[in-house]
Amino acid sequence: MRNGFPVALACTLLITGALRAQAPVPDSGPVESACPAASACSACLDVCPEPAPSRVWLGGDYMLWWVRKAPLPAPLVTIGPFNPDTFVPGVSPTPAALSSPGTAVLFGGQNLSLGTFSGLRLQGGIDLTEDRTLAVEGGGFVLEQRSRFFAAASNAAGVPFLAIPVIDSVTGRETSVATSFADDSANVFGGLQGSVFAETTTRLWGAEANLSSLVLRRDALRATALAGFRYLSLKESLSVGEDFTPIGQPLDPGFLGGPIGLGQSVAALNRFTTQNQFYGGQVGARLEYLGDRFSAGLTAKVALGDTSQRIDVNGNSTLFSPGQAPVTAAGGVLALPSNMGRRTYDSFSVVPEVGLNLGIQLTSYARATVGYTFLYWTDVVRPGNQIDRVVDRTTVPTLQQFIPGATGTRPAPLHAQSDFWAQGISFGLELSF
C-alpha cells in the first residue's frame, strides 16, 4: 500500500492533466482520449474506459448512371427511292446505296445514346487498429443490362426499299443488299416484302478491395491514402437482322445462289459481341470533413493494369420452306466466313475515378448519403467499331452471286479500340457498428 500511493498519485496527475488539455465536454461520461496509455500507467487500467472496438461499416447505394454512347460509325440500315418500272440493272444507281441520290440512313452512321442505367453498389470496411488509422475496405457495383432496339418494315407491296448498305470488294463501289422492294408491273424483278432490325445491349459491373491508411486527422478533417486491386467488366453486343419473303419472283436476293419462290422466306442475322475485363492495381486518396451532423468527402483513384478483350462475330442465314425443315448456312451480310469467329487480345489500360459524397447523420449508427462518380476506362473494344462494310458478294448466302465454298477476304476481322466512360449520381445509406 505504501508503494502504491506514489503510483496512484502519478496516475491522478496524468488523468487531471489530460482532462485539462481537452476542450470542455458535457458531464455525460469520460472521454477516451483523456485516459493515459496503458504503458504510461498500468495501475490505472481499472479506472480507464476500455478502448473502442474496431468499427465495421456497411453501405448500399442506388445508382442512376449514364455511359458513353455506343459507337456506330458504319451506316447499317438505309432507305432509298426505287421505281421498278424504270430501273435498269447495271445502269441505274443502286437503290439505298450511300452513293445513290435520295438515300437516307435509318440506323447507324452516328453514335447511339444508351439512355440511363439503374444499378446497385454495396461497400463496406473494417478497422484493423484500435486508433482507426488502418482499415480494409471494398465493394462492388452492377448496372442493369440495357438494350436499345430499332426496326423498320415494308408494307405488303414491298414499299419502301430497305437495305443494308455495303461496299463491293471487287469494284470498291457503294452498293446495297436489299431487304424489301416493290414488284414491277412486268414481273421482271419480282419483289420482296421484308423487315430489318438492330439491337444493342450493354452491361457494366466491377469490384475493388483496398487497404486504407489515415495520414491526417485534424479536428473534423481526415485524409486517407488508399492502395488495392480493381476489376471491371464491360460486355456489349450489336445484332443486325433481316427477314424477307417474295411477293413476285425476285432475282436478287435469293438463297445459296438460287432464287427463292413464293411461300418461302429467309432470315439472316449478324451479331457482334465484345467483352472487356480489366485487372489492375490502384492507388488513391480520400479527403473527408466529418462534422457532428453533416459530412463531405472527395475521393480520387487511378488503376493501372491489363484489359483482356474478346471479340465474337457470328452470322447465319436460314431458308424456311413450307413443309420442309429449315436450311441454315453460315454467314449473314456483315458477318461472313472471312471475319466470323472469336479473337482475343490484351491491352494496357488506365482507369481513373473521381467521386464526391455528401452525408447527413441520421443516428449515431446511420448516415444518408448522396454522391456523384465519374469513371474512365482507356482502350476497350466495342461492337460497333468491329464492323467492316467491305463485302465479298460471293460469300453472302442471301445473294444469287453466292458461290458454295467461297470464303473471301472481306469483311476483315477488326480490332478497333476506343475509350469508355460512365458517370452518375447515387443515393445511399451507411451503417456503422
Judgement on whether residues 413 and 381 belong to the same structural domain of the protein: yes
Mean per-residue pLDDT, 308-335: 96
Judgement on whether residues 43 and 73 belong to the same structural domain of the protein: no
Separation CA 291–CA 427 (nearest Å)? 20
Judgement on whether residues 40 and 158 belong to the same structural domain of the protein: no
Judgement on whether residues 276 and 191 belong to the same structural domain of the protein: yes
32 pLDDT higher than 50:
no
- Parallel/antiparallel/unpaired status of strands 161-168 and 390-391: parallel
Judgement on whether residues 369 and 293 belong to the same structural domain of the protein: yes
Judgement on whether residues 103 and 15 belong to the same structural domain of the protein: no
- What pLDDT sits at residue 44? 42
Q: Confidence class of residue 253 from pLDDT cuts 50, 70 and 90?
A: confident
- What pLDDT sits at residue 119? 98
Judgement on whether residues 31 and 107 belong to the same structural domain of the protein: no
Q: What is the pLDDT of residues 384-419, one digit of tens each?
A: 999 999 999 999 999 988 998 888 899 999 999 999
Judgement on whether residues 34 and 162 belong to the same structural domain of the protein: no
| Domain count along the chain | 2
| Element holding 203 (H helix, E strand) | strand 192-218
Bridge partners for 196 per DSSP: 152, 242
Which CATH number fits the domain that encloses residue 225? 2.40.128.90
Judgement on whether residues 80 and 13 belong to the same structural domain of the protein: no
Q: What is the pLDDT of residues 192-224, one digit of tens each?
A: 999 999 999 999 999 999 999 999 999 999 999
- What pLDDT sits at residue 414? 97
State the pTM of this model.
0.85
Judgement on whether residues 32 and 81 belong to the same structural domain of the protein: no
Q: Which three cell numbers stand for residue 401?
A: 452471286
Cβ atoms within 10 Å of 207's Cβ, excluding its own: 16
Cβ atoms within 10 Å of 135's Cβ, excluding its own: 21
CB contact at 8 A, 383 and 414? no
Judgement on whether residues 118 and 258 belong to the same structural domain of the protein: yes
Q: Annotate 81-129 with DSSP letters as a single string.
A: ---TTT--TTTSPPTT-TTSTT-EEEEESS-B---EEEEEEEEEEEESS
Domain of 337? 53-432
